[in-house]
């Protein structure tokens, strides 16, 4: 008797189409066990650090659309002095997303103040984050290649302006595995009002197996749809369904061992079953105290949405999730080509208190030392005006900051020129930023290798280096 089950086309289509349901959510978060990899032939087979890490997890606060460094963390008195004039000839020709730029300089209307023992400058748009500067390393000298949102967001996530490469979170998941077998290792959330440019490409696993891609959680009180077991379905019934699916899939896999996607699907069902026990507790916020909810701004309409995401991020890293990415301003809402005052005033208010609450909460729980928090967008804004009261894209010089995870706080790293157009001192390209994040997670950006089509691929495309000042000052 032939013990193999011959699977008809319609069943295979069913398995493919079922990817839109809960099984795909599990598949996105499932990691291979520490002793093996789904994809044969990878050089980095065992997920162990290359050296002692200073961080166990990452929370990336992504301000999508490009916040203005000139109005948040990088004050430029000379810009205000020359406001209304054209860029000096010594700066040369400036090419932006809108082409060659000749508009007059636009002053910053912000009020600036030094905060903390470090005396770090922060604008009045960010009064809550300003209280945390002694834990923050402000990097004023970031630069990138992408001048459009699509290219910029793609490069900030994958180190390449072209789609198809694994995201930073995927590389971390591939390199280190998971500390929690009941939750995804890489989780993504985006606030309401829009969809992040490029969509899932930003958290894709690229050419690596799909189980390393990010798991997207929904906004609202039920971040994981279809998670709860339907009424009348017991744990035993669920386990029975899983066993049946497992036997059917395993029979097919025995006949077609080269199809690793099916192996990943089998394991995704297993994780889905485990998540039904663990995930509801992880995303349930009702047990948090009122003071904690207020710390994140969840008692205010403007800050409730991002406050909920930041609190969820803390709960996830507490439970062993490696990489959490929170998009704020999804749909390029930080893109202030005009009316930057009203645009950034609204967005800063919605983001500032939740972000500061996250830092304070992590610190008081003893988690900040092992959690690397990153803040920034795909690029900054120009010192020149656009449409009279806005700023264009600026990939040549902008600000990001890092805190926790071994980062030496209370310092400002690098600088832009006197008008904030270009990074000039301690310049950090996106490749260097990713290499530094990986280093603090215990991974070398040049030793972390995945073989694709016979070629060794690395997370920073063979460029970039760890910037030691981040941890040493």
Give residue limits of the domains in the chain.
42-222+291-472
* Cα radius of gyration rounded to whole Å, the chain: 23
Length of the chain equals 473
136 has a pLDDT exceeding 60: yes
pLDDT of residue 30: 44
42-222+291-472 has which CATH code?
3.40.720.10
| Residue 299 in this model has a pLDDT that exceeds 60 | yes
Averaged pLDDT, 459-464: 97
Kindly report the number of other CB atoms within 10 A of residue 257's CB atom.
9
236 pLDDT above the threshold of 90: no
Share above pLDDT 70 across residues of the chain, in percent, rounded to a whole number:
81
Specify the pLDDT at position 441.
Answer: 98
34-38, 251-255, 256-260: which range is least confident on average? 34-38
Decide which of 58 and 269 is more confident. 58
What's the pLDDT band for 96 if we cut at 50, 70, 90?
A: low
- Please report, for residues 28, 103, 393, 418, the alpha-carbon distance to residue 386 in angstroms, rounded to integers and kept in the order given: 41, 7, 10, 20
**Residue 465 has what DSSP assignment?**
-
**Quick one: average pLDDT of 226-236?**
68
Share of the chain above pLDDT 90, in %: 67
Identify the weakest region by mean pLDDT among 3-12, 261-270, 358-367. Answer: 3-12
| Predicted pLDDT at 20 | 41
pLDDT given for residue 268 in this prediction: 61
Specify the pLDDT at position 276. 66
d(CA 125, CA 284): 31
Of 30 and 173, the structure prediction assigns the larger pLDDT to 173
With CA atoms as reference, report the closest residue to 323 among 192, 163, 434. 434
Highest-confidence range of 19-23, 136-140, 226-230, by mean pLDDT?
A: 136-140
| C-alpha to C-alpha distance for 71 and 63, rounded to whole angstroms | 14
- pLDDT bucket at 393, cuts 50 / 70 / 90: very high
What are the b/e assignments for 95-133, b being 16+ CB within 10 Å? ebbeeebebebbbbebebeebbebebbbbebbbbbbebb
Q: Which residues lie closer than 8 Å to 178 by C-beta, 6 or more apart?
A: 31, 184, 185, 320, 322
User: CA neighbours within 13 Å on the CB side: how many for 386?
Assistant: 20
pLDDT tens digits along 168-196: 999 999 999 888 878 889 999 999 878 99
pLDDT for position 29: 45
**Residue 281 pLDDT > 70, yes or no?**
yes
User: Does the pLDDT at position 37 exceed 50?
Assistant: no
């Amino acid at each position: 008797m032939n013990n193999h089950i011959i699977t008809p086309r319609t069943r295979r289509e069913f398995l493919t189409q079922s990817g839109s349901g809960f099984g795909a959510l599990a598949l996105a978060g499932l990691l291979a066990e520490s002793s093996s990899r789904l994809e044969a032939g990878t050089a980095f087979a065992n997920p162990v650090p290359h050296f002692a890490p200073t961080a166990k997890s990452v929370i990336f606060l992504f301000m999508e659309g490009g916040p203005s460094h000139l109005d948040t963390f990088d004050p430029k008195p000379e810009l205000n002095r020359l406001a209304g004039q054209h860029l000096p000839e010594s700066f040369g020709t400036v090419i932006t997303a809108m082409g060659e730029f000749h508009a007059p300089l636009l002053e910053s209307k912000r009020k600036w103040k030094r905060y903390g023992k470090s005396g770090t400058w922060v604008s009045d748009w960010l009064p809550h984050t300003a209280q945390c500067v002694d834990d923050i390393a402000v990097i004023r000298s970031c630069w990138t290649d992408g001048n459009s949102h699509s290219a910029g967001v793609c490069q900030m996530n994958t180190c390449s302006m072209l789609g198809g490469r694994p995201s930073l979170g995927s590389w971390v998941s591939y390199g280190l595995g998971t500390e929690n077998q009941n939750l995804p290792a890489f989780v993504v959330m985006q606030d309401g009002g829009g969809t992040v440019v490029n969509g899932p490409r930003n958290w894709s696993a690229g050419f690596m197996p799909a189980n390393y891609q990010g798991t997207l959680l929904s906004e609202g009180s039920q971040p994981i749809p279809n998670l709860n077991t339907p009424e009348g379905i017991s744990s035993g019934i669920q386990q029975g369904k899983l066993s049946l699916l497992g036997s059917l899939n395993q029979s097919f896999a025995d006949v077609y061992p080269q199809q690793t996607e099916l192996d990943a699907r089998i394991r995704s069902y297993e994780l889905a079953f485990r998540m039904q026990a663990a995930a509801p507790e992880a995303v349930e916020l009702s047990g948090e105290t009122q003071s904690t909810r207020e710390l994140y701004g969840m008692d205010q309409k403007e800050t409730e949405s991002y406050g909920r995401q930041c609190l969820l991020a803390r709960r996830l890293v507490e439970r062993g999730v490696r990489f959490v990415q929170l998009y704020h301003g999804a749909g390029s809402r930080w893109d202030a080509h005009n009316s930057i005052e009203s645009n950034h005033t609204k967005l800063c208010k919605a983001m500032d208190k939740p972000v500061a609450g996250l830092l304070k909460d992590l610190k008081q729980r003893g988690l900040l030392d092992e959690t690397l928090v990153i803040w920034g967008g795909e690029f900054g804004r120009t010192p020149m005006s656009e449409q009279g009261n806005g700023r264009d894209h600026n990939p040549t010089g902008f600000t990001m900051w890092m805190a926790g995870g071994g980062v030496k706080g209370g310092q400002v790293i690098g600088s832009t020129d006197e008008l904030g157009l270009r990074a000039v001192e301690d310049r950090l390209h996106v490749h260097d930023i990713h290499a530094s994040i990986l280093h603090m997670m215990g991974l070398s950006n040049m030793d972390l290798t995945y073989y694709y089509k016979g070629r060794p691929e690395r997370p920073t495309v063979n460029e970039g280096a760890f910037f030691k000042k981040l941890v040493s000052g």
